[in-house]
């Protein structure tokens, strides 16, 4: 049994299979697990580049989060963001948003403990049978955005190909802005509405709990689309947009831009199946099967893992 993709959906799936006694291996093309729960270290300090936070409503996911919290891996962050729109700045109470002191990637790394995970391993083809790069597997899960899965399913015989092609994804750029000192009024995070550049801005020092002078901005889909070939060129425009939005006195000392070609599903709305699994033994999991949330991806992987464990134990 092979899972391709070591993000939270893939590892949630693999964890469920392993618990059920199904031998499973995970293959990840990146150097480390994480997927879109990515973080990068700057001078030894982690900064979240992908998901900004996560929320909890599912009881089973809540149990996992309590374990993370008890281990010091996750912390309650804030239940209030601010919103910027034509009417100015207003507080927006909402559900409790959770963060991770060592970056959200650390939570995915925790899920990988004890599993057979190979990183820096590019899978190039999945075929009915199923075959993974020509090697037979009892089943295979593609835990990744649909457009990426479709490239691996380059055969009209794979029913999963149609499911992958049906997904629509949108891009974004994540900009890390580092300052000599904190120079903004306290806020946890901000939703930015109807802005040509910005979609969200988060105070990473508040999110991490160390008060570091670091902001992380995520851009709109349209703005990102114009910079995907060379994302670093977007840095100055993002920096100016953040400075104007927050009324900062000086520009950021350093700006780093990360490209997300498939940042979030454009049409995930919930109400449908939690995963795709066809008769060929090829499955798809991720947050495209519901509202684009960390919890959605975790639940999707877990549900697919349970379905596969049942199928493989009763062939």
Q: What is the DSSP letter of 257?
A: E
- What are the chain's domains? 1-51+105-168+270-315 (3.50.50.60), 53-103+170-266 (3.90.660.10)
Give the CA distances from residue 136 to residues 1, 32, 132, 133, 282, in Å, rounded to whole numbers and listed in that order: 9, 25, 6, 8, 12
| Token digits of residue 78 | 């804030």
Choose among 101, 108, 126: nearest CA to 38: 108
Per-residue pLDDT tens digits of the chain, which is 315 residues long: 999 999 999 999 999 999 999 999 999 999 999 999 999 999 999 999 999 999 999 999 999 999 999 999 999 999 999 999 988 899 999 999 999 999 999 999 999 999 999 999 999 999 888 889 889 999 999 999 999 999 999 776 678 999 999 999 999 999 999 999 999 999 999 999 999 999 999 999 999 999 999 999 999 999 999 999 999 999 999 999 999 999 999 999 999 999 999 999 987 555 578 999 999 899 999 999 999 999 999 999 999 999 999 999 876
Residue 294, C-beta contacts closer than 8 angstroms, at least 6 positions apart: 8, 37, 51, 54, 55, 104, 287
Local structure of 16: helix, strand or coil:
helix
Question: How far is it, in rounded angstroms, from Cα 191 to Cα 180?
Answer: 24
Residue 47 · residue 214 · CB < 8 Å = yes
Choose among 55, 67, 129, 125: nearest CA to 95: 55
Question: How far is it, in rounded angstroms, from Cα 182 to Cα 179?
Answer: 7
Within a 10 A sphere around the Cβ of 225, how many other Cβ atoms?
A: 14
Local structure of 312: helix, strand or coil:
helix
């Amino acid at each position: 049994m092979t899972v391709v993709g070591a993000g939270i959906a893939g590892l949630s799936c693999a964890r469920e299979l392993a618990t059920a006694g199904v031998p499973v291996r995970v293959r990840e093309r990146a150097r480390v697990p994480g997927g879109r729960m990515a973080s990068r270290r700057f001078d030894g300090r982690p900064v979240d580049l992908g998901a900004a936070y996560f929320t909890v409503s599912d009881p089973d996911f809540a149990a996992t989060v309590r374990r993370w919290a008890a281990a010091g891996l996750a912390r309650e962050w804030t239940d209030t963001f601010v919103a910027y729109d034509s009417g100015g700045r207003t507080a927006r109470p909402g559900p409790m948003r959770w963060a991770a002191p060592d970056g959200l990637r650390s939570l995915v790394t925790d899920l990988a403990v004890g599993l057979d995970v190979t990183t820096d391993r590019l899978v190039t083809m999945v075929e009915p049978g199923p075959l993974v790069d020509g090697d037979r597997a009892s089943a295979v899960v593609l835990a990744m955005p649909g457009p990426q899965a479709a490239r691996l399913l380059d055969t009209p015989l794979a029913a999963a190909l149609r499911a992958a092609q049906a997904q629509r994804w949108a891009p974004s750029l994540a900009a890390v802005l580092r300052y000599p000192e904190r120079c903004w009024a306290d806020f946890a995070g901000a939703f930015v509405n109807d802005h040509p550049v910005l979609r969200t801005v988060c105070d990473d020092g508040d999110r991490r709990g160390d008060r570091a002078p670091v902001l992380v901005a995520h851009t709109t889909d349209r703005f990102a689309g114009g910079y995907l070939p060379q994302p670093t060129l977007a840095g100055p425009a993002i920096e100016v947009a953040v400075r104007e939005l927050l009324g900062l006195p000086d520009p950021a000392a350093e700006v780093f831009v990360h490209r997300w070609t498939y940042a979030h599903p454009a049409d995930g709305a919930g109400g449908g199946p939690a995963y795709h699994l066809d008769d060929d033994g090829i499955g798809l999991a991720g947050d495209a099967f519901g509202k684009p949330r960390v919890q959605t991806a975790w639940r999707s992987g877990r549900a697919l893992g349970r379905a596969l464990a049942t199928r493989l134990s009763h062939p």
